[in-house]
Amino acid sequence: MPKYGAWIAVIVLGWFLCAGLATAQSVAGVAKKSKEQSANKKAKTVITNDTLPSKAKSPAGPAEASPPGTAPAPGEPKSADERSKLEKEYLQKFQNLYTQYEENRLQYEKNDAERYHSSARYYHERMDKNMEQIKALEEQARKDGLAPGLSRQAHKDVRKKLVKEGKIKE
């Protein structure tokens, strides 16, 4: 009886191998047929600049640049002085937010170390809110055309200040 079991296993294995080869051949045949069909097809239309419809002018005419003396578009400060003033304002806002963030982080670490988990959770939530505010301010600064490094610089300044005060270690 054990001899028959081995023969049945060999027959079943052979059947699976043959089925696999037949499938591979049919896949190759399908791929060949698909390639022939796509080669026989030609593009129905070719889009070029000449075939695109020209842009229709609005009834008021094309948009013109703002005349001299008007305010520039949002995100473009008027002058170097205004840009400098705007950078200082944003730097101060970033420093305030990072100061709050670092103070919350210190409280979180203190409470977590002392196993006051509910207080630690509170400060962690405040840290998350601070980061959301920082991200929103970064986005606003980007829209106002300011350099992305402004936030990083503010964070470095705050950390240096806290190291000097002895609140954190470098």
pLDDT, residue 7, reads 73
For 19-52, write each residue's pLDDT tens digit: 665 555 577 777 777 777 777 766 567 777 777 7
Judge contact between 146 and 87, C-beta under 8 A.
yes
Judge contact between 167 and 99, C-beta under 8 A.
no
The two structure tokens encoding residue 154: 């503010």
> What residue ranges of the chain have pLDDT lower than 70?
1-3, 18-25, 41-44, 54-78
- For the chain, the structural domain boundaries read 80-164
pLDDT, residue 126, reads 92
pLDDT, residue 13, reads 74
pLDDT, residue 130, reads 92
Q: How far apart are CA 118 and CA 122, in angstroms?
A: 6
Q: How far apart are CA 85 and CA 82, in angstroms?
A: 5
The two structure tokens encoding residue 57: 């002018």
pLDDT, residue 8, reads 81
pLDDT, residue 167, reads 82
pLDDT, residue 92, reads 92
pLDDT, residue 61, reads 45
The two structure tokens encoding residue 138: 């970064």
The DSSP secondary-structure symbol of 19 reads H
CA neighbor of 160 nearest in space, from 150, 169, 151 = 169
Q: How far apart are CA 67 and CA 105, in angstroms?
A: 50
